[in-house]
């Protein structure tokens, strides 16, 4: 039922804008895969090509080994839930969900059975007769999902399906996607700019930027081994330091005269990324070579304080600290930092794309 997807060198230009730039990707059958990126990075363009709503200028798409690049949407085993839902306003919930089956000429009995199942799947079993205009935002979202699921697609494509819902509903629907994925066993591809959604739901995800994929991995890998400086910043690792040198073998780097064990690969121009979740304030005077910086500024942030500190060479970083501990420190004081194992990672500099 689930379908494996292979994307090879997809490129798509809109006039001077290269919306997709040589994108290649493999998605396993039944995987929950997310395209994550800021607005304009090319996510929807890629999703539309998978759905059959647009064609690439170069490259191809294979479903279970078959080239579908030129196949129109209605002949693909994929269904899309678009951001604007596009429900038929003059139809009932059941009529909306049945629409695709009717177009396919499926018999009335079979239609009713499958619509009933799809509505039950999204917990709208009793809503078949309602007018879609009278539903809440979350219920409309569920109808759009049922309308896609009723086609029993091997691939479900979701374009920012939670954007526009309020916080509580978003969390509820997000969990719903996880359950639907398990129940249907289909290959799910989610497009979102919301990192929480991506991290929570995905088996694997790709971070997109300017029509290119910066990294494809399981969610924890983006933190353990960000592919480059762009990815590190994107996932919230803001402390990116220029080392004076990297020891032969790449086990340690020297930053502002201080030696720091590092993970990752020593590529040319590598930066040292410090994970904020693996930094800890060391009690003053405790040895074992923690990093020593000088405090520049302390900002109260409610449940924690941000301490901005600098190395001797002027490079800086921000450390999150408990409010009571930060209150005992002042600008000008030394700041002793522990870097826990895996907290310092070498990352490649970000190579700007050719255009």
Interface ranges with ligand ADP (CB under 6 A): 14, 17, 19, 37, 39-45
When CB distances are held under 5 to 8 angstroms depending on the partner's kind, the choice from Mg ion, ligand ADP, none that residue 17 binds is ligand ADP
Residue 291: CB atoms within 10 Å: 21
Cα 261 from Cα 208, distance rounded (Å): 30
If the CB atoms of residues 44 and 111 are measured against Mg ion, the closer one turns out to be 44
Rounded to the nearest whole angstrom, what is the least distance from the CB of residue 40 to ligand ADP in the complex? Answer: 4
Rounded to the nearest whole angstrom, what is the least distance from the CB of residue 39 to Mg ion in the complex? Answer: 7
If the CB atoms of residues 14 and 88 are measured against ligand ADP, the closer one turns out to be 14
If the CB atoms of residues 12 and 142 are measured against ligand ADP, the closer one turns out to be 12
Residue 91: closest CA among 135, 45, 123: 135
Cα 149 from Cα 146, distance rounded (Å): 5
Q: Does residue 116 come out as left (phi exceeding 0), alpha (psi in the -120 to 50 range) or beta?
A: alpha
Rounded to the nearest whole angstrom, what is the least distance from the CB of residue 158 to ligand ADP in the complex? Answer: 12
When CB distances are held under 5 to 8 angstroms depending on the partner's kind, the choice from ligand ADP, Mg ion, none that residue 42 binds is ligand ADP
Rounded to the nearest whole angstrom, what is the least distance from the CB of residue 148 to ligand ADP in the complex? Answer: 18
Residue 82: closest CA among 132, 30, 140, 128: 140
Rounded to the nearest whole angstrom, what is the least distance from the CB of residue 177 to Mg ion in the complex? Answer: 17
Residue 3: closest CA among 169, 172, 157: 157
When CB distances are held under 5 to 8 angstroms depending on the partner's kind, the choice from Mg ion, ligand ADP, none that residue 141 binds is none
* 345: β partners: 263, 273
Rounded to the nearest whole angstrom, what is the least distance from the CB of residue 143 to ligand ADP in the complex? Answer: 23
The contact set with Mg ion (CB under 5 A) reads 44
When CB distances are held under 5 to 8 angstroms depending on the partner's kind, the choice from ligand ADP, Mg ion, none that residue 19 binds is ligand ADP
Cα 264 from Cα 248, distance rounded (Å): 13
If the CB atoms of residues 93 and 160 are measured against Mg ion, the closer one turns out to be 160
Radius of gyration of the chain (CA): 25
When CB distances are held under 5 to 8 angstroms depending on the partner's kind, the choice from Mg ion, ligand ADP, none that residue 215 binds is none
If the CB atoms of residues 45 and 215 are measured against ligand ADP, the closer one turns out to be 45
If the CB atoms of residues 53 and 338 are measured against ligand ADP, the closer one turns out to be 53
Rounded to the nearest whole angstrom, what is the least distance from the CB of residue 233 to ligand ADP in the complex? Answer: 18
When CB distances are held under 5 to 8 angstroms depending on the partner's kind, the choice from Mg ion, ligand ADP, none that residue 41 binds is ligand ADP
* 8: β partners: 60
φ, ψ dihedrals at 246, nearest 5°: -125, 130
If the CB atoms of residues 44 and 184 are measured against ligand ADP, the closer one turns out to be 44
Token code pair at residue 353: 């794309």
| 8-state DSSP, 283 | P
Whether 208 and 234 have beta carbons less than 8 Å apart is answered as: no
């Amino acid at each position: 039922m689930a379908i494996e997807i292979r994307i090879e060198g997809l490129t798509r230009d809109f006039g001077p804008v290269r919306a997709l730039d040589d994108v290649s990707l493999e998605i396993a059958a039944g995987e929950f895969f997310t395209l994550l990126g800021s607005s304009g990075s090319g996510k929807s363009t890629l999703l539309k090509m998978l759905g059959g709503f647009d064609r690439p200028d170069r490259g191809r798409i294979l479903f279970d080994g078959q080239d579908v690049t030129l196949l129109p949407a209605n002949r693909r085993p994929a269904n899309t839930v678009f951001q604007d839902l596009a429900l038929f306003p003059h139809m009932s919930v059941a009529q909306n969900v049945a629409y695709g089956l009717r177009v396919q000429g499926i018999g009335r009995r079979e239609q009713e059975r499958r619509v009933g199942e799809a509505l039950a799947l999204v917990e709208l079993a009793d809503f078949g007769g309602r007018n879609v205009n009278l539903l809440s935002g979350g219920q409309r979202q569920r109808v759009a999902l049922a309308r896609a699921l009723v086609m029993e697609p091997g691939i479900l494509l979701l374009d920012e399906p939670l954007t526009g819902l309020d916080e509580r509903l978003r969390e509820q629907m997000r969990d719903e996607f996880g359950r639907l994925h398990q129940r249907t066993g289909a290959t799910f591809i989610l497009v979102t700019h919301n990192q929480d959604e991506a991290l929570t739901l995905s088996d694997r995800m790709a971070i997109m930027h300017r029509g290119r994929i910066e990294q494809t991995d399981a969610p924890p890998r983006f933190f353990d081994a960000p592919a480059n400086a762009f990815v590190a910043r994107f996932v919230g690792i803001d402390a990116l330091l220029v080392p004076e040198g990297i020891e032969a073998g790449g086990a340690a780097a020297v930053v502002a005269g201080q030696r720091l064990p590092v993970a990752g690969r020593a590529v040319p121009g590598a930066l040292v990324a410090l994970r904020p979740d693996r930094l800890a304030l060391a009690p003053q005077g405790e040895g074992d070579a923690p990093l020593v910086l000088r405090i520049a500024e302390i900002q109260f942030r409610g449940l924690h304080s941000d301490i901005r500190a600098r190395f001797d060479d002027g490079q800086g970083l921000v450390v999150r600290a408990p409010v009571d501990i930060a209150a005992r420190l002042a600008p000008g004081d030394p700041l002793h930092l522990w870097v826990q194992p895996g907290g310092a990672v070498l990352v490649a500099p970000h190579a700007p794309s050719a255009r």
